Amino acid sequence: MDIEKQKDGTKLYVKLVGRLDTKTAPELSEMLKDELEGVEELTFDLSELVYVSSAGLRVILSAQKIMNKQGSMKVRNVKGIVMEVFESTGFVDILTIE
């Protein structure tokens, strides 16, 4: 998985490319731990994410919990199997998906 990030003041934009699974979730978790301090608006672009596992869902949920305390989080461009996973796990009710 590739992680593309852009930080602009209190805004963080993260684009995920490839697979967010047991192997790659720790990398995303570590990056978010380093970057989320002071962030008030987090945006995930999942237009090129082709797969998400339960480990990936845990990282996204953890980010949502942090952002509930310090700002807002949006998930954009969710497609295909990733949207199916979000729907079957109830993440569509937890996340702000655009």
Neighbour-count burial for 61-87, b at 16+ CB within 10 Å, e otherwise: ebbbebbeeebebebeebeeebbebbe
**Distance (Å, whole) CA 47 – CA 55:** 19
Is the Cβ–Cβ distance between 42 and 73 less than 8 Å? Answer: yes
**Residue 47 banded pLDDT, cuts 50, 70, 90:** very high
Count of Cβ atoms closer than 10 Å to residue 20 Cβ: 25
pLDDT in tens, 1-39: 999 999 999 999 999 999 999 999 999 999 999 999 999
Give the residue carrying structure tokens 């942090």: 66
pTM > 0.85: yes
